[in-house]
Amino acid sequence: MGKVSGISKILHLETVDSTNLEARRQAMEGAEDGLLILCDNQTAGRGRLGRRWSSTEAAIAMSLLLRPEIDADRVSMVTIIAAMAVRDAIFKVTGLETDIKWPNDIKYHDRKLAGILSESVFRGKEFYTVLGIGINVNNEAFPDEIKEIASSLRIEAGRSFDKDELTEAVWESFFGYYGILLRDKDLRSLTEAYNRSCITEGGINEYGELIMADGSLKRSGEV
Ligand code: BTN
């Protein structure tokens, strides 16, 4: 992977329990903003809402450590732009036009290709965020319990892809959006682009909250 502005250091591990957990361990040791953890195999990958996320060498599993200068209670905006970046990267490398299911599932023909788990740790006024991204790249098959709902870029496009190229494309796009987020402190310049790719009814407002049919707002969870 080439140099991406915004990434301060890359740690590539052969096997790790979870790249999110590793990034948190590194953060506790004082690791800098922009540390990227990459791995070949994840033995205890974590999904949203306490689920597991299995991940082999065929897939991308990575986590970025960020210390964002935004309101701590608006940190979910980071996962919104991560979903946009994963979608952009998939399009750039494979040509597949994926959908975003709010807040941050990447789907193709209703099958999940990628997931994002961001976890924030607060200490007083300070906090850091670990942005974990899993992308099913060259997987040829999935375990029975998810085979009806998951897919990979290889299955959908009929050929395999270079994980490094895709990884670089994700972070190139992410840091473009992240600069805009840090400048505006909200997503006002990005909501339109997100909503164009978002298949969840209602779309988001400038804070990444889902606008429900009755006008109420949903900040996290599932719909
Ligand atoms: C989801 O449930 O949709 C989120 C899945 C997130 C998986 C990624 S893989 C890299 C990072 N490390 C983890 O343990 N989880 C995230």
Q: In CATH, what number is assigned to the domain containing residue 72?
A: 3.30.930.10
Residues pairing with 11 in the sheet: 37
Say if 215 falls within a structural domain: no
Q: How confident is the model at residue 91, as a pLDDT?
A: 98
User: Residue with the nearest Cα to atom 2 of ligand 1?
Assistant: 47
Q: How confident is the model at residue 137, as a pLDDT?
A: 98
Say if 59 falls within a structural domain: yes
The DSSP secondary-structure symbol of 133 reads E
Report how many domains make up the chain: 1
Q: Which of 102, 129, 133, 222 to mutate to test the pocket of ligand 1 (most atoms within 8 A of CB)?
A: 133
Q: How confident is the model at residue 3, as a pLDDT?
A: 86
Measured from CB, residues less than 6 Å from any atom of ligand 1 are 18-20, 45-48, 51, 53, 55, 61-63, 105, 115-117, 132-134
> 110 C-alpha to center of ligand 1: Å?
19
φ/ψ (deg, to 5) at 198: -90, 125
Residue of 205, 181, 179 whose CA lies nearest to 194: 205
Q: What are the residue ranges in the chain where pLDDT is below 50? A: none
And the tokens for 101?
């299911």
Q: How confident is the model at residue 182, as a pLDDT?
A: 97
Q: For residue 68, what are the domain limits? A: 9-186
Say if 67 falls within a structural domain: yes
Q: How confident is the model at residue 125, as a pLDDT?
A: 76
